[in-house]
Structure 1
Amino acid sequence: MTNTITPRTTAASTTTGRFWFAADAVISGVNGLAYLAAAGPIADLLGGQAATYRWLGVFMLGYAAVVGLYARSSLSKRTGWAVVVGNVVWVLASLEVALTGMFDIDGFGRAWVVAQALVVADLALMQARSLRAR
């Protein structure tokens, strides 16, 4: 009798993985567009300079495009883990910005940075779980 090893990848885990990476792309894209389109009012609300929000908007749109393409691909685990690591780095950098007030953000801006860091941390966790399930 031969012992065959079946891959752990299931259609459900692949679909779930696609969902979390696609959600990351959509959320990042919407935020990126908002930062580009409303950089001035966002700077007035959160503190900081409008140019910083424009730069963040461009970065987030580029990130959204890359992650969106990944979500539609064959979902290489290595690339998926790179996205997770990128999200963890974003969370840590966001917490540093919130703690130090870097970029001249005010109290409401710090709260916003922490809130978005929590969303990104949750996305990273769900993405990591979906990658481990495959």
Structure 2
Amino acid sequence: MTTLQPSLLLRRALLADGLVGVLTAVHLLLLADGLSAFTELPRQLLLGSGLALLPLAAWLIWLAKRETLSRLVVWTVLALNALWLIDSLLLLLSGWVAPNLFGYALVIGQAVVVLVFIELELLGLKRSAVIPGSFAQVSGGTQ
């Protein structure tokens, strides 16, 4: 497994992603009733999204404070963000919900924010330094 010295950009992107996640989760959990009425998105969807975001956001904040990170962990963050983005768009295209214009704006707006975090984290990953000797042995060779 490759271990990285995360770049300042990667640390800041992970921290910002986590903090925005916490704020979004709290917003969704505390204001689910009002947001549901305003956006015509199901209350249970908003509550479930908020509950799902809390542990993810806490993990991102914890990762941002680490001295080293596994490249695999960073790719896991990117994959989870990509999954959130894809699921958000599928939600709107699937017909499972029937939001009003404000509901579409909320879902698309948060998807754009997630896309920005994906880009920043990718760029931060590219700027991160590999720690020498951190490659795992695979079938007698190195990665």
TM-score of the alignment, normalized to the shorter chain, above 0.5: yes
RMSD of aligned C-alpha atoms? 1.6
Structure 2: runs of 5+ lacking an equivalent = 129-143
Aligned to 2:8: 15
Aligned to 2:116: 122
Report how many aligned residue pairs link the two structures: 124
Structure 1: runs of 5+ lacking an equivalent = 1-8
Report the Cα offset of residue 32 of structure 1.
Answer: 0.2
Identity %: 23
Q: Which moved more, 1:64-73 or 1:48-57?
A: 48-57
CA contact (8 A) 1:101 1:110 kept: no
Report the Cα offset of residue 75 of structure 1.
Answer: 2.4
Aligned to 2:51: 58
Alpha-carbon separation, structure 1, partners of 2:107 and 2:72:
28
Structure 1 or 2: larger strand share? Answer: 2
Aligned to 2:140: none
Aligned to 2:96: 102
Structure 1 or 2: larger helix share? Answer: 1
Tell me which of the two structures has the higher relative contact order, counting C-alpha pairs closer than 8 angstroms and 6 or more residues apart: 2
Q: Which runs of 4+ in 1 moved over 2 A?
A: 98-107
TM-score, normalised to structure 2, is: 0.80
